[in-house]
Chains A and B, each alone.
Chain A
Amino acid sequence: MTRSREIGRAGWGWTAFAGIIALIYFFPVMWIIMTAFKTRPDALAVPPKFFFTPTLDNFVGVFFRAVISGGGAAQATEFPLYFFNSIFIAGVSCLLALIIGTIAAYGFSRYPLKGNETYMFIILTTRMMPAIVVVIPIFLMFREIGLSGTYAGIIFLYTAFNLPFTIWMVRSFFDELNTEIEDAARMDGATERQLFFGICLPQVKAGLAATFVFGLILTWNEFLFALLLTGVDTRTVPVAMARTLGGEMGVDYGLLAAIVTLFLIPIFFVTFLLQNQLLRGVTFGTVRK
C-alpha cells in the first residue's frame, strides 16, 4: 500500500532537490560575482579556486584607471556616465513605451476599431523577425536624420521595440477587468477621462509594473543596437563592457566580472522592489475572479 503524501508539504528531500537545481541555474551568476572579487591570478587559476582572499581592486578599477606610464594620480574612467546612460535610456524608453502602450491598449480594449484584431496582429508582426534583419536600414536611416549617437535616437528605438509587447500585455489586463465597474462609474457621473485614470488604471497597476519590468530587463541588456547607434557620450554599459575586451593585457576577467556585477544591481533592485506587483501582474486573471 502506498502512503499518500500530505498535501501542501513537499518535505526536506524535495526542498533539497529543488535547491540543487536552483544552484545549478544560479551558478554562472555566482561565478561571475565571485570572479569580481578575485585578483587576476586567482581569476585565471586552473583548477578554479572556490576559496580565495577577496579584493575590491576590480571595482575600483571600473571607475579609476591606473596610469601605467609615469606614475601620477589615477584617472577616472567613463563608467559612471555609461551607467547613467544605461539607466536613463532604459528607464525613459520603458516608461515611454508604458505610457503610449497603455493608452493604445485601452483604446484597443474599450473602443475597438473595425478590424481591431488585425491591427493588433500587425503590431505584433513588427516583432516577428530577428532584430538584426532591420539593423542596416535603421542604421542608415538614423545616420541620415542625424539620430545616430543621440539619446533621442536610441530612446525612440527602444520605445518602438517595447511597444508591441506592452500593448499586447496591457490590453489583456484591460480585457480582464469587469466592465460593470466602468458602467457603474459612468452612472455615477464619471467622465471618460476619470474612468481611465480613476477606475481602470488603478486596477491594472500590478500588470503595468510587471510589463514595465519585463521591458526594462530586455532593454537593459540590449547590445546590438546600442553598439551601432550610440556614440561616445551615449554609450550604454553592455557596449562599454565589450570594449574592455582585448587591449594590451588581454581580457581582464576580474574587471569584466566587476562591471557585470555592478550592472546586475539596478535591475535586481527594481525587480526586487516590484516583485509583489510582478507576481500579481503575471497571475492577474487567475487571482482576481
Chain B
Amino acid sequence: MTTIDIKDVTKVYPNGFKAVERINLSVGQGEVMCLLGPSGCGKTTTLRMVAGLEDITEGECQIGGRRVNELLARERNVAMAFQFYALYPSLTVAENLKFPLHAEGRSQAEMDAKVRQVAKTLQLEGVLERKPAQLSEGEKQRVAVGRSIIRDPECFLFDEPLSRLDVTLREQMRGEIKEVLSGLSKATVIVTHDQLEALTMADRIAVMRAGIIEQVATPHDIFAKPANLFVAGFIGTPQMNLIPASFTGMDGGHGGFALPGGQKILLQIDPAVGRLAPGTGITLGIRPRNLEIMPEPVPDGLTLQVDIVEPMGAETLAHLSDGAQSMRVVCDWRVPIDESDRLHVRFQPGYVHVFGPDEQAVRS
C-alpha cells in the first residue's frame, strides 16, 4: 500500500509564522492529489513536510501507514520533482537519472538498464550525454520527472511541475505526466497554483488558503459545488460572479433575493436556503457561462448595462454593471453585444450558489 496520511499537521517557522494549521489530508493508492492555492498558502510547505525537508511542528504524517515524522528525507522512500527542476548541473542527464539509484545499491548493469528504460518513456534518449545547461526547458522538465520515477518509491511529490514551461509545452507535458502517473499507481501529490493544471491532472483537489485546507473534492465537485466563497472565487475562469444580496424568503420553491441596487430576483435554489431567516445577508454565486442572455426582462434575471466587451475567440466576455453591482457574462462569439447595450440576463436554474453569512455554501 502506498498512501499518504496527514493528520492535524501544523507548521510554525522559527520566526513564529504559522505556515500550515492543523490540516488533514489523505491520499490513497494510485490517487493523484493536487494542492491548489495562491502563493504563500502553505501548499509547498505541506509538500516539503511530507518529503522530510521541513520538520513537522505538530501532528503526524504517515506514508504507507508508517509514521515518518522522525525519518530523514532519504529514509522516507519518497520521490520528488522540484519547481526549478533541481538537476545536478555538473552531471550529465544519464548521471542525473542514475543518481537516485546509487543510494539503493544496485549493480551498474541494472542501473544502466533502468536509465535506458526511463529515457525511452520520456524521449530523452538523444540527450543522455548532455549536461543540464544544454537542455531545453521541456527536456529539463522531463529529466526532473524521470529522476523521480526511476526509483520505486512509496509516493511521488511534484512541486509546481509545469510552472516554468511555455503554454504549448505545458499542455503537452500535462498530458505526458498524467500518462506516466497513471502507469505508476502510487500516491501522488502535485502542488500547483494553476487551476487548469489541477483540474486536468488530479483525481482530487485540495484547495488551500492561508495554511488551511478549504475544500477537498474531485475536480468536478470543486467546480460544481464549491464549499465556500473562497473556493467559488478561486476556481474557474472567468471568475464566478459573486453578488451580495439579501434573502427575502421562499416563494413556492423559489428563493427571493433583494440586490443592493434595488432589483429583485426570484431564483430556483437549493431547498436548504429556505432555512435561512429572511433578511439574512448572503452572497449569490453564478458562473459567467451560466448566465443566459434574454430578449426581455425575466423574474429570474437582471438587467444590466454593458461596460466592456472582451472577445476571447470562441466566446465573448462582457462586463456588465448597473451601478450597484458588476457581473461578467460569457456568451457565444456570434451573439452581437455592443458596449453601452442594456442586457437582460437570466440565471440558469441549477447553477446558482448561495453562500451564507459565514461564507460557507448553503447546500443540502
Contacts and interface: CB of A to CB of B under 8 A. Distances in A.
Interface in A36-86: none
Contacts of A205: 90
A188 B103 contact: yes
B84 A187 contact: no
- Is the contact region of chain B dominated by helix, strand, or loop, or is it mixed? loop
Given A178-B84, A180-B83, A180-B84, A187 B78 contact: yes
Contacts of A191: 74
Contacts of B53: 183, 186-187
B362 interface: no
Contact of A181 (B51, B73, B74, B88): B88
B102 interface: yes
A189 B86 contact: no
Given A181-B88, A183-B86, A202-B90, A189 B104 contact: yes
B74 to A, nearest CB: 4
B147 interface: yes
B82 interface: yes
A199 B89 CA distance: 8
B51 to A, nearest CB: 6
A199 B86 CA distance: 11
B30 to A, nearest CB: 21
Contacts of B59: none
Nearest to A178: B84
B83 A189 contact: no
Report the interface size class on chain B: 20 to 34
Nearest to B90: A202
Interface string B94-114: 000001101110000000000
B80 interface: yes
A178 B87 CA distance: 10
Interface in A174-193: 178, 180-181, 183-191
A276 interface: no
B350 to A, nearest CB: 46
Given A178-B84, A203-B90, A187 B102 contact: no
B84 A189 contact: no
Given A178-B86, A181-B87, A184-B86, A189 B74 contact: yes
Interface in B38-97: 48, 51-53, 72-74, 78-80, 82-84, 86-90
A204 to B, nearest CB: 10
B86 A190 contact: no
A184 B82 contact: yes
Contacts of B151: 188
Interface in A205-253: 205
A138 B88 CA distance: 45
Contacts of B79: 187-188
A199 B91 CA distance: 9
Chain B CB within 10 Å, residue with most, of A181, A186, A189, A199: A189
A198 B147 CA distance: 17
Contacts of A184: 80, 82, 86-88, 147
A189 B103 contact: yes
B102 to A, nearest CB: 7
Given A181-B87, A203-B89, A187 B80 contact: yes
Contacts of A178: 84, 86
Contact of A180 (B73, B82, B102, B104): B82
A186 B73 contact: yes
Contacts of B89: 181, 202-203
Nearest to A183: B53
Chain B CB within 10 Å, residue with most, of A180, A188, A190, A205: A188
Contact of A188 (B48, B90, B147): B147
B103 A183 contact: no
B103 A190 contact: yes
Contacts of B72: 186
Contact of A185 (B48, B78, B84, B99): B99
A181 B132 CA distance: 12
B90 A187 contact: no
B82 A189 contact: no
A205 B80 CA distance: 27
Given A183-B48, A203-B89, 16 more contacts: A178-B86, A180-B83, A181-B87, A183-B53, A183-B82, A183-B86, A185-B88, A186-B74, A187-B52, A188-B99, A188-B103, A188-B147, A189-B100, A191-B74, A198-B88, A203-B90
Interface of A: 178, 180-181, 183-191, 198-199, 202-203, 205
Interface of B: 48, 51-53, 72-74, 78-80, 82-84, 86-90, 99-100, 102-104, 147, 151
10 contacts: A181-B87, A183-B80, A184-B82, A184-B87, A186-B73, A186-B74, A187-B100, A188-B74, A190-B99, A198-B88
